């Protein structure tokens, strides 16, 4: 299975985001997610001096957010890590909140997202 990558920005028809460090690096992050390799994912963030919250809304893996892609790839560990690391606003903006609510309640990624939402509402 090959990993397709779609880089987007907020505006329709806009130029691909993340052009400053290239599609190859974004593809690398999708590959780390697919392989559930959270340690290498963190190392690459450090190497490129990036924060997950800065890149998360702009990287799509096979047309999905990185959290959704992690779930469909069976990569729950990195999916939970990302869900704990990104801004709650981004979880809403990319559709992860509504998507997670469709998962079974025992799904660990859904549980992390719901816990984050509960912390904000308190």
Instruction: Give 72-114 pLDDT, tens digit per residue.
Output: 999 999 999 999 999 999 999 999 999 999 999 999 999 999 9
Average pLDDT of the segment spanning 17-33: 75
Please report, to the nearest 10 degrees, the dihedral formed by the alpha carbons of residues 41, 58, 108, 70 taken in order: -60
In which band, very low, low, confident or very high, does the pLDDT at 23 lie, cut at 50, 70 and 90?
confident
Q: What is the pLDDT of residue 78?
A: 97
If you compute the radius of gyration of the chain from its CA atoms, what whole number of angstroms results?
Answer: 14
Split at pLDDT 50, 70, 90, the class of 122 is: low
What is the value of pTM for the model shown? 0.81
State residue 43's pLDDT score.
94
């Amino acid at each position: 299975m090959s990993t397709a990558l779609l880089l987007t920005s907020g505006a329709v028809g806009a130029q691909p985001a993340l052009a400053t460090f290239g599609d190859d690096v974004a593809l690398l992050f999708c590959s780390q997610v697919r392989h559930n390799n959270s340690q290498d994912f963190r190392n690459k963030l450090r190497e490129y001096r990036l924060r997950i919250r800065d890149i998360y809304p702009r990287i799509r893996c096979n047309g999905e957010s990185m959290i959704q892609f992690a779930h469909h790839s069976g990569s729950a560990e990195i999916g939970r890590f990302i869900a704990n690391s990104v801004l709650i606003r981004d979880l809403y903006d990319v559709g992860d909140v509504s998507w997670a609510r469709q998962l079974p309640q025992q799904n660990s990624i859904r549980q992390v997202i719901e816990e984050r939402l509960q912390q904000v509402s308190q």
